[in-house]
Structure 1
């Protein structure tokens, strides 16, 4: 089985990468929305790999953090959770945030993750509650949305965009969708106007794109 890959990042898709190693390109499924942590195309990337073999497929799932790989394996052990759903879950929240939500039966937070409904959220809590204690816990009483915002605001230099991102997360939008929508609005506005746009106008434009 392939446990890791180190090679040139040749392509970045929505939920997969191509890593070229010794002239061979490996397609690796990667958590969508985590691309900001990847190097630029053409540079070297190292991924922890989980190989999933089925009768009709041989798929590679890649992670920059070994904790993500461990959580991916935990998720695969939950009834009704396959590799694609597990990757969607990890795209929506990091292992420490997932651990807290599961340990505290935070169904509302889990239901915000892509592809997770009430029944799946309940199964995650039931089947994983006693298995997530080795993942770092979220500090004090910080909410899932506010912790997600801490790591995301660095992507936007403009204070109005940082405030808008925090507001969207508090409204319940997933970090991946909120960041993407704000980035698209910034692209449409242009650099000069984006630096001066008022927060209320920015939120109006972004919410319209999310509708």
Structure 2
């Protein structure tokens, strides 16, 4: 089991990152809410990981905090939710926002995420309610789920629109949905991070 990685960020292409640990590059998939908390390239990062072994692949999922990783682990134990869908959920909203959805029985927001139908959303609300209470009690307060960003946006580049669409496609959105969402919110001064966040928010 690989529980965490401390190393140098050598590649970043949302939602994937490569962390170099003593010469070994670990490919890690992260929710976008965590991905944009990473430092710049060639800087040190510590991420908490969840290791998944399948017949055809070995996959690492990464998180900024232990609480986010615990929430991911709870999600993949819910009926009808696998790692890919859990990653999509935690990319479309922060951990704190997901907690709020569960507390408020907010099905309407959950079903706007790709891959989350009404039945899946209903199951999530039922199955996660007690589990989240336990997690929040252990964390001390729900406020610990709120990500505190120290990310400094990179300079605006011409590929911001392409990067945003690619990130949405990786999360399961259809090409037409991704293009529409990006086109609806894009402005010249936006970098990739801002554009992706705005596009995701516009679909919720």
Distance 1:184 1:122 in 2: 33
Say if 2:77 is the partner of 1:47: no
Aligned to 1:72: 72
Unaligned stretches of 5+ residues in structure 1: 139-146, 156-176, 189-205
Normalised by the size of structure 1, how large is the TM-score? Answer: 0.65
Work out which of the two has the higher radius of gyration on C-alpha atoms and give 1 or 2: 1
Normalised by the size of structure 2, how large is the TM-score? Answer: 0.67
- What do you get for the CA RMSD once the two structures are aligned? 3.4
- By relative contact order (CA 8 Å, sep 6+), the higher-ranking structure is 2
Q: CA distance change for structure 1 residues 18 and 121 in 2, over 3 Å: closer, same or farther?
A: same
Task: State the number of aligned residues.
Answer: 161
* 1:126-178 deviations in Å (ceiling 9; x for gaps): 2111111133447xxxxxxxx99x98xx97xxxxxxxxxxxxxxxxxxxxx9x
Say if 2:83 is the partner of 1:83: yes
Aligned to 1:200: none
Q: What's the secondary structure of 1:19's corresponding residue?
A: strand
Q: What's the secondary structure of 2:100's corresponding residue?
A: helix
> Which stretches of structure 1, 4 residues or longer, exceed 3 Å deviation after superposition?
179-184
Unaligned stretches of 5+ residues in structure 2: 154-178, 191-197
Match of 2:188 among 186, 189, 198: 186
Distance 1:181 1:46 in 2: 34
Aligned to 2:32: 32
Structure 1 window deviating more from structure 2 (109-118 vs 21-30): it is 109-118
